Each structure stands twice: as structure tokens, then as C-alpha cells.
Amino acid sequence: MSTGTYTAEHPEDSVNYLNVSSGLKSWLFTLDHKRIGVLYLFSIMAMFLFGGILAMLMRFELLGPGAELMTADTYNRMFTLHGAIMIFMFIIPSVPAILGNFALPIQIGAKDVAFPRLNLASWYVYVTGSGLALYAIIAGSVDTGWTFYTPYSTQVTGSVIAMVFAVFILGFSSIFTGINFIATIHKLRAPGMTWYKMPLFVWGIYATGVIQVLATPVLGITLILLILERAFGIGIFDPSMGGDPVLFQHFFWFYSHPAVYIMILPGMGIISELISTFSHRKIFGYKAIAYSSIAIAFLSFGVWGHHMFVSGQSQYATLVFSFLTFLVAIPSGIKVFNWVSTMYKGAITFETPMLFTLTFLFTFTIGGLTGIFLGSTAVDVHLTDTYFIVAHFHYVMMGGTIMAFFGGLYYWWPKIWGRMYSEIWGKISALLVFVGFNLTFFPMFVMGAQGMPRRYFLYPEKYQIEHVLSTGGSWILAAGLLIMALNLIHAMKWGPKAEKNPWGALTLEWMIDSPPPPHNFKETPEIEHGPYDHDKVLVKPGKVGATT
């Protein structure tokens, strides 16, 4: 382990976390939160690529109502793997494990996370879980959907156990990350970094950590019960053994609905950073945004039953879940209104991260509002399990979290690599992603409301127009993502050198060099201003911040 030895030997600015040591070992055994973030970056993006290719193949298959490209079995496996990969291996870890790991400790003035070894362990656990999931794909097949509903999942052949165990392992990675950030935020804030001086990104990750730690174990227990049932015939969920399949749905959604907020809260945190930075203005409603994150985390535990309005659960349960579901819409709405207000009388610039922020405002608002349709019991009966649901959660997950994640990637890229991406190509990619995303997923709202059920390999011809539009959109979206990938990869090595603070932002990571020195700060930073005090501190892009 060579990471501990640099400070004395290299006093100069040119030493950073990337060049302080080299060789595979220096990466595989690193305890530096920034390097672990980079390890996560490559492994998570590899899974994103894989999940994305599956999505493209499915969209291609759905060009026509018949069997165009594959068999029903292949298609069913593909949507299962697409869902499992994108949720458990991409979106859940994406923002916390990549950007959170990289930026959060610096943002609160810490030298590292509270438990660096646990942090590295979480990456190994992630890689193990993902590897096992890939094994499950290659060795056998899983076609249960990412939800693993019983009794289908206990009766069907295929490597369900391996896949479920993989998800179980991935859960630990998520728990480790959550514990680490909670402890880091509580214990490692620099002097003067009071709770209300923390960037809202930190608040978002904090709320996420709470859900990760409290909800993920329930998923773990549920999956273990599923494995016990499949492997040893212990009847828990399978009615032929005396179990109850609806119980599985309760257990599953008790985790998986809060998981939606594990996915969206960090994205909301990014948006808070970006909208203030690129409006060059103080954030509007700091406390409202911070508290609404906590409110969402709290309420998220009481809404799981809205996935089950037609499952046969009691109507009284449905009544309560419907009401709580509507309540959770309120804090999300508060956030959106505060973000929009942040632009009021600002000096708005439109770098690529800001374009993704605006895309987020557009798509996440649609995603959130369509949730109102689904929270309303009478309307949900018609819409649930159709493409309306598919469209809704893609607007929230991809239109929300992933758009914020892309914005965050572009935003912190100069800090991670010390080099700038191409702004022109960045804008082109953002535009293509915006157009492609909406063209892919908006038609799904229409066909879903018209009755097109989800997870259909073959479909009635009357839905073909929407499917064709959607597939066309997926090509534009893929083109945008490809350009983005090339742009970012090119910037890593060949981009022009980045300044300390290319955006004129005020959070601490922009006060230190790009890329950051190995221990972030040469001396303990003094916190003299809040993260968004654009009124008090004048920061010109490219110039050194007032605190250094």
C-alpha cells in the first residue's frame, strides 16, 4: 500500500491523487476515497453499458408486433437483466459511490471518509456481486423480472438463486456506503462546517444513507427467504408449500420503494449544486430543500403498498398507502419550486452540466406528475402494469437520477481528471440525450394509457406506432450517450488542463487543485462562507476561491 507515503516526499502542487503512486496494486489497495470513486466509476459504467445494450436490443425487437430478433425466452431474460443491472448495479450505486465518494469528503473539508477500509471493501463487494450476477446470466438464465415475484420465481428453472444471491451481496455494498457516509458527515466535518453550511449534495447523500442502512437489510432477508424456499423447499411464499406470494410483494417493496429514493435523493443533491453554481446565485430555500430530503427519506418507508393496489391487498391498506403516496409528492414539489426560484434574477450560464440540470427539471417534473396518476387508486387500477408505469419510472429514474448523474459527471470531470471536456460536444450530447430520451419514453405513456401491458414480447398491432417512435428515440438517445462517453474519455487524457475552479462554484472541492492532492487539503480548511454565498464571495471562473 503506497498511498500513505507521499506527503513528505512530494511537497509540490504537482502531486495529486492520480500521480502520487502508480501500478495496479496502488489502485486495487487504495484507501483514498477519490481513487475508490474512480474504481467505482469504471465498474459501474461498464454495467451501465451492458444494461444499455440490452435495452437497445429490446427496443429493436419491439419495432414490430411479432418475433423480430429473438425468442420469447431471450426477451424475458433481457428485460429481467436490464432491470436488475440498471437498478442494483447502476443507479443505486451511481451517484453515491462515484460522485459521493469523490466529492463528499472534500465538500465537508475532510481528508477521507470515516472508514476508508470499509469503503474499499464496499467496492470489492460490489464487484463480487456484479460478477456473480454476470455468472448467473452466462451460466443459466433468469426471466423473473427484476422484481423476482413468487411463486413464479420459486417454480421456474434457471439460475435464480445465483442472481438473487448476487443482489443480496450488492445490498451489502450499498449498506457499507451508507454507513460510511453517515459516519463521515457526523464526525469528519471541518471546524466551522456546521450542518447548515453543508452543501445540499451532502444533505441528499445523508438522507440516502439513512434509507440504505434501514431498508436494505429487509431486502437481504427477503432474498435469503426466497433462496431458502427454492433450495430447501421451505414454504414461505409459494402457496403450493403453504406460503403466501403477496407476502413476498410486501417484503420486496418495503425495500424497493425506499430504494427509489435511494436512487433519486443523491440526484436531487446534484441538481441543488448545479442550479446554484450556473445561476451564479445563492440557492433559494436551502433549508426547505434540505428538510424535504429528510421528509422524503422518512415518508418513503410508508408508501410501499402503492405497488400493490391490484394485488389483492386489503382496500383499507390501499386507502392508507394512497394517502401517504400523495404526501411524498409534496416535498418533491417543494424542491422543484425552490430550484426554479434559484434562477430568479441570476446570471445564468449554459455549460453542459446546466443543460442536464434543465433537462432534469423538464423530465423529472413529468416523472413526478405522472406519479400522481398512479397514486390515485381508481386511475392506478387501469394504468398499473402497463407501459404507463414503464414510462413513469424511466422519467423518474433516468429523467431524474441519471440526468442529474450525467450533469454531475460533466461538472466534476475537470476536478476528477484535471482536464476539461469539449463544451461543444458536451452540448451536442446533452441535446441528443434530451430529444432521444423524450422520444423513447413519452410514447410509452400514450400506449400504456391505451392499455399496452408491460413485459410483452409480442403485442397487438394497434400499439405499433408508439413502439416504432420509441425505438427511433432509443437510437437518438444512444447516439447522445456515445458522444458523451467519447467526449469524457477523450478529456481524461487529451483535454486541456482544467483550472481549480472552472465554474466559479463555492463548495470546498473547487478551492483545491484539479485533480486534488492525495489528502485533499494541505491544512485543515477554515470555513468562512456557506456553500452558496455568491452574494458574499466573488469567485470568477478559473480564479482561486476566497478561502485559499
Partner 1 sequence: MDTTGTFWMPPGSSTVAGDVDALFYFIFWASVFFFLVVVGVSAYFIIKYRRRAEDEEAKSHIDYNLKLEIVWTVIPIILVVIVFIWGFQTYMKMQIVPRDAIEVKVTGRQWMWLFDYPNGSTSVNELVVPVDRPIKLLMSSEDVIHSFYVPQFRIKQDVLPNRYTVSWFEANRTGNFDLYCAEFCGKGHSEMLGTVRVVSQERYTAFLETGGLGDQEGMSLMEIGKRLYRERACNTCHSVDGSPNVGPTFQDAYGHEVTLSDGSTVMVDANYIRESILNPKAKVVQGYEPVMPTFQGLLSERQVDGLVAYIQSLSEVEDMEGDTTETQVAEQDTAQTQEDTE
* Interacting positions 238-297 with partner 1 (CB under 8 A): 239-240, 243-246, 279-288
**Is 465 a residue that touches partner 1 (CB under 8 A)?**
no
What 8-state DSSP symbol labels residue 434?
H
d(CA 150, CA 228): 13
| Nearer CB in complex with partner 1: 327/482 | 327
Q: Which of residues 231, 310, 465, 482 is near partner 1 by CB under 8 A?
A: 310
| Neighbouring residues of 353: CB distance < 8 A, sequence distance ≥ 6 | 274, 277, 278, 407, 408, 410, 411, 503
**Among 39-47, 86-94, 133-141, 339-347, which window interacts with partner 1 (CB under 8 A)?**
339-347
Rounded to a whole number of angstroms, the minimum distance from the CB of residue 289 to partner 1 is 11
Q: Are 353 and 278 in contact (CB under 8 A)?
A: yes
Count of residues touching partner 1 (by CB under 8 A): 92
Q: Which is nearer to partner 1, 365 or 547 (CB)?
A: 365
Handedness of CA 64, 66, 68, 72 (dihedral sign): positive
Q: Is 29 in the site for partner 1 (CB under 8 A)?
A: no
Interacting residue with partner 1 among 10, 26, 111, 341 (CB under 8 A)? 341
Binding partner 1 by CB under 8 A: which of 118, 121, 190, 329? 329
Residue 46 within binding range of partner 1, rule CB under 8 A: no
What are the residues whose beta carbons fall under 8 Å from the beta carbon of 276, sequence distance 6 or more?
A: 282, 283, 342, 532, 534
349 binds partner 1 (CB under 8 A): yes
Taking the least distance from each CB to partner 1, the nearer of 118 and 156 is 156
Site for partner 1 in 176-235 (CB under 8 A): none
- The residue from 370, 401, 429, 501 that contacts partner 1 (CB under 8 A) is 370
Q: Is the dihedral of CA 316, 319, 322, 327 positive or negative?
A: negative
- Residue 449 as a binder of partner 1 (CB under 8 A): the answer is yes
Q: Residue 497: beta bridge partners? A: 419
Which residues have C-beta within 8 Å of that of residue 154, sequence separation ≥ 6?
160, 226, 229, 230, 237, 238
Q: What is the CA radius of gyration of the chain?
A: 23
Span near partner 1 by CB under 8 A; candidates 132-140, 259-267, 377-385, 412-420: 377-385
Instruction: Decide: 253 and 307 in contact? Cβ < 8 Å.
Output: yes
Long-range CB contact pairs, 319-326, < 8 A, 24+: 319/377, 322/375, 322/376, 322/377, 324/299, 325/371, 325/375, 326/372, 326/375
| Selected binder of partner 1 within 64, 145, 302, 502 (CB under 8 A) | 145
Q: Between 173 and 384, name the residue whose CB sits nearer to partner 1.
A: 384
Which residue number, 201 or 457, has a Cβ lying nearer to partner 1? Answer: 457
Which among 261, 265, 171, 168 has a CA at the least distance from the CA of 216? 171
Q: Does residue 535 touch partner 1 according to CB under 8 A?
A: yes
Identity at 122, one-letter amino acid code = S
The single residue among 369, 469, 479, 486 that binds partner 1, judged by CB under 8 A, is 369
- Interaction of residue 14 with partner 1, rule CB under 8 A: no
Range in contact with partner 1 (rule: CB under 8 A) among 103-111, 112-120, 153-161, 401-409: 153-161
Closest CA to 259 of 170, 358, 155, 354: 170
At its nearest, how many Å lie between partner 1 and the CB of residue 418? Answer: 24
Per CB under 8 A, the list member of 348, 485, 486, 546 interacting with partner 1 is: 348
Evaluate whether 180 touches 113 at the Cβ level (below 8 Å).
yes
Residues 55-74 within binding reach of partner 1 (CB under 8 A): 72-73
366 forms part of the interface with partner 1 (CB under 8 A) = yes
Would you say 25 or 543 has its CB closer to partner 1? 543
Among 218, 262, 336, 512, binds partner 1 (CB under 8 A): 336
Contact present, 216 and 125 (Cβ < 8 Å): no
Q: What is the 3-state secondary structure (H, E, C) of 518-536?
A: CCCCCCCCCCCCCCCCCCC
Q: How far is the CB of 518 from partner 1 (least distance, A)?
A: 34
Bridge partner list, 453: 386
Residue 111 binds to partner 1 (criterion: CB under 8 A): no
State yes or no: residue 372 binds partner 1 (CB under 8 A): yes
d(CA 166, CA 162): 6
| Contact present, 276 and 286 (Cβ < 8 Å) | no
Q: Which of residues 71-100 bind partner 1 (CB under 8 A)?
A: 72-73, 76
Asked if 382 is part of the footprint of partner 1 (rule: CB under 8 A), the reply reads yes
Three-state secondary structure along 88-134? HHHHHHHHHHHHHHHHHHHHCCCCCCCCHHHHHHHHHHHHHHHHHHH
**Site stretch for partner 1 (CB under 8 A), options 88-96, 348-356, 424-432, 476-484:** 348-356
- Residue from 26, 128, 450, 548 touching partner 1 (CB under 8 A): that is 450
